[in-house]
Amino acid sequence: QGTRDHPPAQAALRDRLLSAVVSCFKRHGAAAIDTPVLELRETLMGKYGEDTKLIYELQDQGGELLALRYDLTVPFARYLAMNKISNIKRYHIAKVYRRDNPATTRGRYREFYQCDFDIAGQFDPMIPDAECLKIVHEILSDLQLGDFVIKVNDRRILNGVFAVCGVPESKFIPACSTVDKLDKMPWEEVRSEMVGEKGLSPEAADRIGEYVQLHGGLDLIERLLQDPKLSQNKLAKEGLGDMKLLFEYLTLFGITGKISFDLSLARGLDYYTGVIFEAVLLQQEKEHVEEAVSVGSVAGGGRYDGLVGMFDPKGRKVPCVGVSIGIERIFSILEQRLEASGEKLRTTETQVLVATPQKHLLAARLKLISELWDAGIKAEMLYKKDPKLLKQLQYCEDTGIPLAAIVGEQELADGVVKLRDVATREEVRM
């Protein structure tokens, strides 16, 4: 339940999608790494807040207690600490596991791919952070998924907001995960969850509401830097200063048109410490085909400066910022789009079918195809001793093979091959 097989057509589409993403990661100078699907249970515990319950645990069959990785970020941090790496730019594309309620039509599975790009190291503020946003912008533009917006916020700004609204520090994380629901429910419901479930005072909730419903650009940053309460809070001031710097860099990249500083963005995970961001596709109301796929976030990430230190015996910190591309949702969109277009994706790359028009010529086919393979040519033949020529040509048409190399008795006698263009039926002897 919540997993799926990928038949050839899907595997081919996924390949195409992943290679677009990988080529962007490589364009930004990232190296690939790989880590095991299995992690020690203790590595994963206490990193995912309320979602820790979604971790798949392996049976205790003797030896270490193991679990399946929930994302690629925690294993990455574990890898950095274990190998004392303080500086790396890497990407990692692999499957992760969540014992969640699957919603497969919306691209939510229990086993799914994540595509992560992260920059680890002590650098000057906001330069790597800006590059992560540039990457999201490049990938979403390259894939032509339609209009999108990248929401940006900062955990320090949110925490500053909670503090100046009178929320005790112990309730920052629960308050955060409630604010994060503002994209799915109206403020009234979020407010009542804050007061009811999370135990905030109604006054605090109302004050929070005034902030978290704001969104804008550099102008909003400037306004909040002048805000009498917020400007007195050290964390918020730091966050707003960095946000201003980020917008300067994004202006130089020419991408601020798609960026929105949005105070309602909170993101659920415990480990974020600074900038956070999330890209959402904007619904295109005109195209009915795409409305059927209810997409939301297609990329997200942020800064997590404390996570590596949790795995280091001496608590040595390695600041990190990264982005995860929501490949499964994007895949759903591309799949639906391909289906609507009626285009048939080839699942193989075969260039030529080796065929015979008469019986008793299997040996000739085997000799020729062997020569082609040895010359690096992608070639197939039917696994029949005496197939009909029509069947062989039909196979070419069904699978998109453009050429047939035909050896008949005459060709054998003349020492030639007849090469046929399947679509035009043109033939040359060679």
Q: Which residues are annotated as a binding site for L-histidine?
A: 71-73, 98, 114, 118, 267, 271-272
Subset of residues 325 to 354 that bind a copy of itself, contact rule: CB under 8 A: 347-350
* 45 binds a copy of itself, rule: CB under 8 A: no
Q: In the 8-state DSSP scheme, what is residue 72?
A: S
Sequential DSSP letters for 176-212: HHHHGGGGTS-HHHHHHHHHHTS---HHHHHHHHHHH
Distances (CA, A) of 128 to 120, 270, 371, 381: 9, 21, 51, 52
Sequential DSSP letters for 273-314: -SEEEEEEEPP-TT-HHHHTS---EEEEEEE-SSHHHHHSTT
* 104 binds a copy of itself, rule: CB under 8 A: no
Binding range to a copy of itself, per CB under 8 A, among 90-98, 272-280, 282-290, 418-426: 90-98
Positions at the binding site: 71-73, 98, 114, 118, 267, 271-272
Choice between 97 and 162, CB closer to a copy of itself? 97
- Alpha carbons 35 and 32: distance in angstroms, whole number: 10
* 95 binds a copy of itself, rule: CB under 8 A: yes
Subset of residues 373 to 412 that bind a copy of itself, contact rule: CB under 8 A: 373-374, 376-380, 383-385
C-alpha dihedral, 336 to 342 to 347 to 349, nearest 10°:
-130
Q: In the 8-state DSSP scheme, what is residue 32?
A: E
Choice between 132 and 152, CB closer to a copy of itself? 132
Q: In the 8-state DSSP scheme, what is residue 108?
A: B
Binding range to a copy of itself, per CB under 8 A, among 86-94, 145-153, 207-215, 303-311: 86-94
> Among 71, 72, 90, 417, which residue sits at the site for a copy of itself (rule: CB under 8 A)?
90
* 15 binds a copy of itself, rule: CB under 8 A: yes
Q: How far is the CB of 157 from a copy of itself (least distance, A)?
A: 22
Torsion region of 166: left, alpha or beta (phi above 0 gives left; psi -120 to 50 gives alpha): left
Choice between 188 and 374, CB closer to a copy of itself? 374
* 231 binds a copy of itself, rule: CB under 8 A: no
Q: How far is the CB of 363 from a copy of itself (least distance, A)?
A: 6
> Among 3, 284, 294, 394, which residue sits at the site for a copy of itself (rule: CB under 8 A)?
3
Are 80 and 73 in contact, with CB atoms under 8 Å apart? no
Binding mask 236-275 for a copy of itself (x = CB under 8 A): -------------x--xxx---------------------
# residues contacting a copy of itself (CB under 8 A): 77
> Among 18, 20, 35, 231, which residue sits at the site for a copy of itself (rule: CB under 8 A)?
35
Sequential DSSP letters for 339-377: HHHT----S----EEEE-SSSS-HHHHHHHHHHHHHTT-
Are 400 and 382 in contact, with CB atoms under 8 Å apart? no
